[in-house]
Amino acid sequence: MKKNDPLCIPKGESDLFRESMQDVTPMQPPNQAQLHIPKPPAIPVKTLEDEQQVLLDMFSDEYDPTEIQPGDVLSYLRAGIQHRVFNKLRRGEYRIAAELDLHGLNAREARMYLAEFLVRVYPLQGECVRIIHGKGNRSDHRGPILKTKVNHWLRQHDRVLAFHSARPVDGGTGAAYVLLKR
């Protein structure tokens, strides 16, 4: 024990303090409710940005060797889908739950709208939607651009089970019925 240390209490004073405090009872803590306010959930800005980028990147624009003409029929059936279901889609017998018209959009805009549409369309309203891509009659020598890209993009989306060009009354080869996973 150092003599100059201000925290040191001489032995006699310590005993005197304990003796004078022996009859004292500790005070009860104040009667207060402990409020537990939960932290607000964090807004995952980076996750939201990443999900938006996934929507944009979901469809590849790699070269598709399939050359499509304005009057060609689009048709696709994912493995495991019954032919009876596909034939019903081809004949236009499903109720159309929603429709997306891509007329007048460039390829980048069309890809963004299609990706957003396929993610947001509510599955309980029905599993069949119509995508209007146009026939591409006014396209230059490259052929129908949107029709070709929609054909390629729909094949890549996990939610698309099958698609087929619409009946003439519903747009013919300028539109497609798309059967979606519920």
Query: Given this model, what pLDDT does residue 84 score?
Result: 93
Q: In 3-state terms, what secondary structure has residue 142?
A: coil
pTM score above 0.75: no
8 A C-beta contact, residue 178 and residue 130: yes
Element (H, E) at 86: helix 83-90
Quick check: is 40 in a domain?
no
Encode pLDDT of 23-40 as tens digits: 888 777 667 666 677 766
72, part of any domain: yes
pLDDT in tens, 71-114: 778 889 998 889 999 999 999 999 888 899 998 888 889 998 89
Share of the chain above pLDDT 90, in %: 18
Predicted pLDDT of residue 107: 86
User: Which of the four pLDDT bands, split at 50, 70 and 90, describes residue 163?
Assistant: very high
Helix H or strand E segment including 101:
strand 96-101
Cα-flanking dihedrals φ and ψ of residue 166, to 5°?
A: -75, 165
DSSP label of 38? P
Domain holding 86, by residue range, is: 68-180
Tell the residue number behind the tokens 């938006």, with chain if given: 52
**Residue 10 falls within a domain, yes or no?**
no
CATH number at residue 157: 3.30.1370.110
As for how many domains the chain has, the answer is 1
What is residue 68's predicted lDDT score, i.e. its pLDDT? 72
> Which residues, including other chains, have CB under 8 Å from residue 149's CB and lie 6 or more apart?
59, 61, 107, 110, 111
Contacts of 151 (CB under 8 A, 6+ apart): 64, 66, 68, 74, 76
Q: For 39-65, write each residue's pLDDT tens digit.
A: 667 667 767 777 776 666 656 555 455
**In this structure, is residue 154 part of a structural domain?**
yes
Q: In this structure, is residue 96 part of a structural domain? A: yes
